[in-house]
Amino acid sequence: MQKELQRFPLLLTREQASSYLGIDPKSFDKFIRSHSDMPRFMVGSRERFTIKDLDEFVFSHSIID
């Protein structure tokens, strides 16, 4: 797992974040990026995301029966 993470920078673009999660960028926009709970870091006018925030968001919004 650690070797897989080495191919990603600390701040991920929308495309990199969706690739990390294994989903299409349009699905990332619709279900994750648009959610008000998803933290983002702004570099100028560009949004960036961290793996830690992506992981926490997914696990905190998972449906558990």
CA distances from 62 to 7, 13, 48, 57, 59 (A): 26, 23, 22, 9, 5
Predicted pLDDT of residue 1:
52
CA 42 to chain centre: 14
Give CATH for domain 2-60. Answer: 1.10.1660
DSSP, res 12: B
pLDDT-flagged residues of the chain (< 50): none
